[in-house]
Each structure stands twice: as C-alpha cells, then as structure tokens.
C-alpha cells in the first residue's frame, strides 16, 4: 500500500469521528495558544526594557550630589550640590580607558510661557557633551554651539511634549519662550525618547546651555562660583566592566573631594545599565517560567492524544485484522495511526497559533501590555505539537501494528 493511500485512510478515519477528533485536539490547541501568548507577553516586556535602556543611552552611569547629614538628619539627594563641572571634565580626561564621555547638568523647574500658552516642566542646563552621552539627536533645528555655552546665550532646545503643549502643530524653531521671565529663543527640537524606566516622560524637558541655566535662569551666585552641578552623566566604553569603572570613578571623585578613608562619599553613583539589565533578566526568566507552565498544557494534550488513539485502536481491532488479512503490512498500520496522531497535533497546533495570536493582540488592547510575536516561537510551538503527535502516537500505532491478524479478526 502506498503512502498516499495510507494518508487517505487516516484522514477518513478522523472525519468519521469529528467530535472525538475535535476534543482530542483541544488540549493541543490550548497548549500552543498558551505558549504563544506567554512568549509574546514576555518578549514585549523584554523589548520594553531594551527600549528603556536605549532611551537612557548605552552604558550609562550617573553621579549625583550626595545626601549629606546635618544635625543627624539626612537631606534629599541632590539638594546640596557637591559635584562640579570640573569633576565631569576630570572623569573624561583621567579615565579615558573606561569613559567615552562625561556631561554635567543642572536641573530646575518652573512655568514656561509662549504667547498665550504655558506649561510646567523641568529644564536642564547642559553642555554639548550631554547629547552624545545620552545619545539624543535633534529632530529639527540644531545643537548648542560652544560660543553659546561660553556666553550664556538665551537659547533653548525643547522636547516633543513641551513643543506640542506650547506650539501645537506649529514649528517651535525660532519661537520665543520664557522661563522665570527670561526670554529664550528655541533653536532645536529633540527627537522623541519616550518614557524612562520609572514611567516619567523624557520628552517633557527643556535643555539650556549650562551657563544660561546657572547665571540667568536660576540666578545662583553660589553655584556660579563653585561651578557646581546636580548630576554628571557618564557614558562608559563598550566592553568595559561596569563595576570596575564604577570603582575607578568613585576613587577619582573621593580623591578630588579630599575625602578621608572611612569618610562617607559626598556623591551617589548609579549604574543605570546594570539596573535595567537586571530588570531585563528578570523579565526573561519570568517569560521562560510562564512558557514552561503553558507547555504543561501541551503535555496534557499529548496524553489526551495517546489515550484517544488507544481507544481508537481497541474499537478498530477488527478493521486492523481485516486490513492485515487482505495484504496490509504492519508498517502500513503503524504509518496510518501515526499519521492520524500527527494530523491531530498539526491541526491543533495551527488552530492554537491562530488562537494564541488573537489572544496576544487582545491582551495588548485590553490590558495595554506590550507584546512581541516571534515567528521563531510560532514555528517552535507548531513543531513541538507535531513532535508530541509522534511521541504520544507511536505507542498506540505500534500496538496496532503488532496485532495478530487472526486474533484481530476474532475480536468482538
């Protein structure tokens, strides 16, 4: 008997018991759908973390002014400026094997006015290095020039959220805004960054030359004299050990600040990439755990296939004996029942793929979770379903193939 004839007989047997076949496939359908949904949700979470890492800038480390203790009470981080522009330049100059760039910044906040519109936002005084360290490009306009930094020019670069709330659909370039009564000309529009790991809107920001922020907007005489800043963003070189680089930066800053052994740091170091990579690893482990739990459904579906196929072999014992009597070989019988099992698994797998993709899209719409459908995951789920058909279908098929024709014909 040729292979095509065996396939035809197997498919006919499945069509004869449509309800049984559908119920047998149900376990596979649910298992494959569950695996695909879990992998899609896990992949979406991982992609979201990767986007957050990208939004911060690659290999980013941050130095903040510390939380000094006064009369037993510890103040908030950044309330006292203990790091300076010169610290940033020293880090870039003295640790070139670890650091690709260091950018000081000074933060403020307030109401911004443009014409009849106003918006409350944060503004940062920065140097040209800030854009390279944060890997932040310009969507329209230009960056600051060094002459504007040196001369405390009244210019600003604004984020997408600020531009939308102040100017709507009108280009903000060459428009005038006011921060604390100081008029500033908008010379650039930042490319969109999205959200930070904490959920803050990174596009809701205004960037000023650091000298402009310090001398004109904040008007801080003390800050001007000490060249103090609120934070320093450091971009590490690719392949550098983050922990080692962190220790080198700490050692340099302690030396510059003349801190004695045993004395607390007057600054705070945060390795943002390590924090986000930990989150990414956590989301990856959770995705694998969920996919493993969902895979149990596939195993249950496979057991269901084996159970139904064993019942089918028992019910069709006389049919098997008759086929063997008219010349069918044991191999033909084995092939027929294996084809039935694999067909059930494949059809169930394909139906599960459609259900899983639909379920993932539904979760994305209703729950607002990001998803990432992977072709590799889909192919893997279908292949696994087919493998289950072969594995769990082999024992019933072998049992049918090894039946004695005479005993099978006598079966009632």
Domain boundaries, the chain: 3-51+279-410, 67-265
DSSP string, 202-223: TTSEEEEEHHHIIIIIS--HHH
The confidence score (pLDDT) of residue 17 equals 76
Please tell me whether the overall predicted TM-score, pTM, comes out greater than 0.85 for this model. Answer: no
Which among 236, 229, 233, 180 is positioned nearest to 206, based on CA atoms? Answer: 180
Is 101 in contact with 89 (CB distance < 8 Å)? no
Each residue's pLDDT, cut to its tens digit, for the chain (412 residues) gives: 566 666 776 677 777 778 877 877 887 888 888 888 888 887 777 776 666 665 555 578 889 986 544 444 444 444 567 899 999 999 999 999 999 999 999 999 999 999 899 999 999 999 999 999 988 999 999 999 989 999 999 999 999 999 999 999 999 999 999 998 899 999 999 999 877 656 678 899 999 999 999 989 987 655 555 688 989 999 988 888 888 998 999 999 999 999 998 888 989 988 776 665 666 676 667 667 766 776 677 777 778 778 877 877 777 787 778 877 777 788 888 888 888 888 888 888 888 889 989 988 888 888 777 788 878 778 877 887 788 878 888 888 888 888 877 776 665 5
370 vs 100: CA distance, rounded Å: 33
- Terminal Cα-to-Cα distance of the chain (whole angstroms): 26
The CA distance from 391 to 342, in Å, is 9
Q: Which of 133, 181, 128 is closest to 157 using CA atoms?
A: 128
| Nearest one of 67, 99, 61, 60 to 82, comparing CA atoms | 67
- Angstrom distances, CA of residue 308 to CA of 25, 83, 298, 318, 393: 10, 73, 15, 17, 10
Q: Which of 87, 54, 104 is nearest to 233 (CA)?
A: 104
Tokens of 264: 């607390």
Q: Which two tokens stand for residue 90?
A: 């020293």
**Token pair for 405:** 């024709």
Reading the block at residue 154, the tokens are 């009244």
DSSP string, 20-44: HHHHHHHHHHHHHHHHHHHHHHHHH
CA distance linking residue 248 with residue 95, whole number of Å:
8
- Tell me what pLDDT residue 75 has: 46
pLDDT at 162: 95
- CA pair distance 330, 198, nearest whole angstrom: 65
């Amino acid at each position: 008997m040729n292979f095509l004839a065996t396939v035809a007989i197997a498919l006919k047997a499945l069509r004869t018991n449509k309800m049984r076949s559908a119920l047998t496939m149900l376990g596979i359908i649910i298992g494959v759908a569950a695996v695909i949904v879990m992998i899609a949700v896990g992949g979406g979470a991982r992609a979201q973390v990767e986007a957050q890492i990208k939004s911060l800038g690659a290999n980013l480390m941050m130095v903040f002014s510390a939380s000094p203790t006064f009369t037993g009470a510890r103040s908030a981080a950044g309330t006292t400026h203990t790091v300076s522009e010169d610290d940033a330049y020293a880090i870039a100059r003295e640790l070139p094997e670890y650091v690709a760039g260091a950018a000081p910044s000074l933060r403020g906040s307030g109401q911004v006015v443009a014409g009849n519109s106003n918006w409350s936002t944060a503004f940062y005084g920065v140097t040209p290095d800030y854009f390279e360290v944060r890997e932040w490009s310009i969507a329209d306009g230009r960056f600051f020039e060094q002459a504007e930094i040196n001369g405390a020019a009244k210019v600003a670069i604004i984020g997408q959220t600020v531009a939308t709330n102040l100017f709507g659909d009108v280009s903000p370039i060459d428009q005038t805004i006011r921060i604390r009564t100081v008029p500033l000309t908008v010379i650039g529009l930042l490319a969109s960054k999205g959200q930070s790991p904490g959920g803050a809107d990174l596009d809701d920001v205004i960037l000023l030359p650091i000298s402009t922020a310090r001398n004109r907007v904040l008007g801080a005489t003390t800050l001007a004299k000490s060249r103090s800043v609120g934070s320093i963003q450091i971009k590490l070189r690719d392949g550098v050990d983050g922990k080692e680089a962190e220790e080198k930066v700490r050692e340099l800053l302690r030396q510059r600040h003349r801190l004695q052994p045993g004395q607390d740091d007057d600054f705070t170091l945060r390795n943002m990439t390590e924090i986000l990579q930990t989150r990414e690893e956590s989301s990856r482990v959770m995705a694998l755990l969920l996919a493993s739990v969902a895979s149990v459904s596939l195993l249950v579906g496979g057991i269901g296939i084996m159970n139904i196929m064993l019942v089918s072999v028992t019910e069709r014992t006389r049919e098997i004996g008759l086929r063997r009597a008219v010349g069918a070989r044991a191999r033909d019988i084995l092939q027929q029942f294996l084809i039935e099992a694999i067909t059930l698994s494949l059809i169930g797998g394909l139906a599960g793929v459609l259900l899983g993709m639909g379920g993932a899209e539904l979760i994305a719409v209703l729950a607002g979770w990001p998803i990432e459908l992977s072709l590799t995951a889909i192919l893997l789920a279908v292949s696994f379903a087919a493998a289950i058909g072969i594995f769990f279908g082999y024992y019933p098929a072998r049992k049918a193939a090894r039946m004695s024709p005479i005993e099978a014909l006598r079966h009632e």
